[in-house]
Structure 1
Amino acid sequence: MNTTIDKVLISAFCLSLSAAALADVQLSGKTLAGASITLSDSQAKHLSTTADAQGNYKLNIEGLSAPLMLVAETSDKQFVSIVPSLAAGTANINALTDQIASDVAQEFKFVGPVGLAKSGKAPAVSVDSIKAKTAALRVSLAPALQESGLDANSFDPLSAPVQGALADILAILGHNRGYEPKSGERADTSLYDPYFREVTRFAPFSLKKAQADLRDINAKDVVRVFIAGDSTASNYDPQVLPRMGWGQVFQRKIKDGAAVRVVNVAQSGRSSRSFINEGWFGMIAANIRKGDYLLVQFGHNDEKCGNNPVAPPPARDGIDIANLCTYPGNSADIPAEMSFRKTLEKYIKLAQDKGATPVLITPVTRRSFKSGQIGGTTHTYSKGLFPGDYSQTIRDTAQANKVALVDLDARSMAFFNQVGEEASLDYYLAVDTTKYPYYVGLTGARNKPDNTHFQERGAETVAGLVADGLREAGLPLAKELKP
């Protein structure tokens, strides 16, 4: 059993461009053992090979034209690299080159690196464009580059030797792809630190801090609280402050000095189903161990099941049904892959199989006041063949599986009804744009409130409601919570 936080090991794929004449240019290097490698040039010509048991491969690129697109794939990972010129001597394929490829995909209006790879043709990107995108990446990596003695002004993941400090950076960075709601496809690349906080220019990556965090999370006697959930719980970039998810601040509810670490894996826009299909579930599975906790809070996006019959595009009905939604209730007619209850039971089984404690959490209420009150749950579905109540499905699933429940829907409704409609704006994302100009003209401004998500005060409050529910459930974790 894996008892350490998986470093989301990101192996470097090294390709060497021979200095020989174009009549005999060799690409060779190492990748993951058995990985498939595909090369496409600007004319949609292709070469492919499979790495051997040691990860070695070799390709002859005679007759191909730059730019080149390189794709390296295993059963659960894909990295893309763009080589703008054959003048380069080395072309690595790893998480960092995938970040650059993601920016190239945006430039050419593809849905992420997956879209680039599916196109089967290297985009006509310029050398200067790749240089600019590489420079932007260096900003996000600046602390790590400086700490490692790498040149923060010239570092290029395409050509830098994958050894020493760069190997350390790649080994500890998390990597995954986003979700494009208009198409249902995997979208832009994101990189993460050991706490699953996204690496951006507003939150640059420090290797020393990441290594210290990893040691701290993996300490023998530390209990980890993993959070699987959606945007109401997820982490947010400092750029969008004061927006926060309750999982982002849940560590604040742990007693000072307690050997408990919160690992917030919640992701915006995910349902219980897409969280699994996009690999987040697998990341938790690779890391959770005996004695840990798994807090599971979904519902907001599981509810996006569209109409029946399905409305044609541009409506999202078909996309959401195919990729996102689940149906509430426990009807035997609900297909297993679309059942909210059966999907939740996968999280329960994961935790129990690892010796961890699962806790199901009903979704936090939306700010939906009528006549001064939130009159009942805001998490029902009535459009299709399987209408029902998502919060009640969670309650029923917890009871049927004899696992702990935090009824956050009921708790948050009671709290915000007591606070009142106007005062609740101080908790939900409804900010003063003179203080937070990012929200000028956007949902989240005081005159255009976001009635689903929270500013810092609201995230703190909801985290406190979750802590209250854990105490009421009588879990051992309760003794580590602040009063």
Structure 2
Amino acid sequence: ASAVKDSKTNRLIIKIVNKDPKAKTVTVNLKDFKQATADVKLIRLQSDNLREQNTLDNPDAVKPEEKELELVGNTFDYTALGQSFSILVIQLTNEKTSAKGKQPGLTEKDSTVTVYTIGDSTVKNGDGSGSNGQWGWGAFLADFLNDDVKVVNHARGGRSSRTYIEEGLWDNVQSRLKPGDYVLLQFGHNDGGPFNTGRARATLKGNGEESQDFVMIERPNKDTVTIHTYGWYIRQYIKDAKAKGAIPVVVSLIPRNDWKEGKVIRNNESYALWAKQAAAQENAMFIDLHNLVCDKYDAMGQAFVAPYYFGDHTHTTKAGAQVNAYLVSQALKSLPCSLAGSVK
């Protein structure tokens, strides 16, 4: 990796070459530039052969892939795909305080509407680069929205509706919300299992107000945690988002790669149902992605869907994630919100 500062544009340009066939993660530290927050523009030129390059005879040999990475704090991790050449362009600022009060930083215009997606690995798999062949639908939602909308994918693999809050991930998203932003939330795949052992991420089944205290017996301090129902956590997200002036949209979980007699096994008596109920109780908008995807899969058939759209029992391939993102975008069109007009 190498870095150079362009004094004319006040940009830091970082070039990263990964000759290894496997993806590698590097840590980028901007401590010398005292950058607290910024948008990082990534231009990635990927080829199976690093010697391949654009020429006059073949100007499109390697096409750049552009996307936005979010930088908060002066350190962030970047995953360089195998045999790839990446360029990170970071806009630096000499301002002592940004418009949002961060020091120093680059901020988006106040008129920009941001859609935050939160959930598990079916929304964002790993670091979101698809380096393991698996993708979440949050990675492709922006492809179906107009340029006046920014999608920021804060989903985290392995999290349940409970642990996304317990680990402070939701607090991090809340701190960024501004009035008029949207929060699309999808949980459920990881809300089963043990409450206080192993991954300790389960929620109580149902949509009620009941709770139960559990001693985290495998933690060093053996602290006690109050665990609520799945529906309770969904309602909490809705309340918190509304308190920030943001607009929550509850999304029911995508189906797993489970089939019976050629049809997808549906989850309409548990998490998909509870998500719908929780949204209705808090007067929040709801996208029934679970049944939208099931209907789509049933129409195409198991023989096509199972090997092409799924990488395993749960996680989707790029094609599968793109279909799910498209269905989310089309569902947004029917909702009574401003975002409906920003769908392509």
**Are 2:203 and 1:326 equivalent residues in the alignment?**
yes
Paired amino acid for 1:324: R
1:398 aligns with 2:279: yes
| Partner SS for 2:248 | strand
Pick one of 90, 95, 98 that aligns with 1:208: 90
Q: Give 1:27-426 correspondences, 5 Å limit.
A: 139=1, 142-143=2-3, 148=12, 162-163=31-32, 165=33, 167-168=34-35, 172=38, 193-194=69-70, 199-202=78-81, 206-208=88-90, 215=106, 218-235=108-125, 236-238=127-129, 240=131, 242-255=133-146, 258-305=147-194, 318-320=197-199, 323-335=200-212, 337-377=227-267, 389-425=270-306
Give 1:291 deviation, angstroms. Answer: 0.6
Equivalent position SS for 1:270: coil
Measure how far apart 1:353 and its partner are: 0.8
The structure whose residues are more often strand, as a share, is: 2
Amino acid at match of 1:376: R
Distance (Å, rounded) in 2 between the aligned partners of 1:144 and 1:292: 35
Q: Kindly tell me: are residues 144 and 337 of structure 1, through their superposed partners in 2, closer, same or farther at Cα, counting changes over 3 Å?
A: farther
Tell me, in whole angstroms, the C-alpha distance in 2 between the residues paired with 1:144 and 1:345.
47
- Whole-Å separation in 1 of the counterparts to 2:155 and 2:110: 24
**Which of the pair is proportionally richer in helix?**
1
8 Å contact kept, 2:13–2:90 = no
Q: Deviations over 1:9-30 (max 9, x none)?
A: xxxxxxxxxxxxxxxxxxxxxx
SS at structure 2 position matched to 1:326: coil
Which has more radius of gyration? 1
Is residue 189–residue 253 contact of structure 2 (8 Å, CA) maintained in 1? yes
Q: CA deviation at 1:200?
A: 2.3
Deviation sequence 1:43-85 (CA, Å, 0-9, x none): xxxxxxxxxxxxxxxxxxxxxxxxxxxxxxxxxxxxxxxxxxx
Deviation at 1:421, TM superposition (A): 0.5
TM-superposed deviation, 1:360: 0.5
Q: Give, in whole Å, the separation in 2 of the partners of 1:224 and 1:285.
A: 12
Amino acid at match of 1:456: K
Equivalent residues of 1:193, 1:210 under 8 A apart:
no
CA distance in 2, matches of 1:280, 1:472: 30
Is the aligned partner of 1:461 residue 2:323?
yes
User: C-alpha distance in 1, partners of 2:92/2:296?
Assistant: 37
CA distance in 1, matches of 2:243, 2:329: 24
Following the alignment from structure 2 to structure 1, what is the Cα–Cα distance between the partners of residues 333 and 142? 15
CA 1:145–1:298: 2 relative to 1, 3 Å: farther
> Deviation of residue 244 (structure 1)?
1.6
3-state SS of paired residue (1:299): coil
Give identity over the alignment, percent: 25
Q: CA deviation at 1:427?
A: 4.1
Contact 1:193 1:205 in 2 (8 A): no
**TM-score, structure 1 normalization:** 0.50
Deviations 1:260-318 (A, max 9, x none): 10011011111111111222111111111001101010000112347xxxxxxxxxx72
Matched residue type, 1:360? V
Alignment-mate amino acid for residue 185 of structure 2: V
Change (3 A) 1:468 1:304: farther
Structure 1: give runs of 5+ residues left out of the alignment: 1-138, 175-191, 307-316, 381-388, 430-443, 445-449
SS of equivalent residue, structure 1 residue 319: coil
Q: CA deviation at 1:376?
A: 2.5
- Number of aligned positions between the proteins: 271
Give the secondary structure class of the aligned counterpart of 1:208: strand
Letter matched to residue 392 of structure 1: L
CA contact (8 A) 1:143 1:207 kept: no
Q: Output the TM-score relative to the length of structure 2.
A: 0.69
In structure 2, the residue corresponding to 1:325 is in which secondary structure? coil
> Structure 2 vs 1, CA of residues 225 and 195 (structure 1 numbering), >3 Å: closer, same or farther?
farther
1:432-447 aligned at under 5 Å gives the runs 444=311
Deviations 1:232-262 (A, max 9, x none): 011545462642210011000102xx31100
Please tell me the residue identity of whatever aligns with 2:197: G
Structure 1 residues 400, 195: closer, same or farther in 2, change over 3 A? farther
CA distance in 2, matches of 1:162, 1:398: 43
Q: Distance in 1 between matches of 2:170 and 2:128?
A: 22
Check conservation: 1:245, 1:459, Cα contact below 8 A: yes
Superposition RMSD in Å: 3.4
Q: For CA contacts below 8 A with separation 6 or more, give which structure has more relative contact order.
A: 2
5+ residue gaps in structure 2?
17-26, 41-67, 94-104, 213-225
Range moving further from structure 2, 471-480 or 364-373: 471-480
Following the alignment from structure 2 to structure 1, what is the Cα–Cα distance between the partners of residues 243 and 129? 36
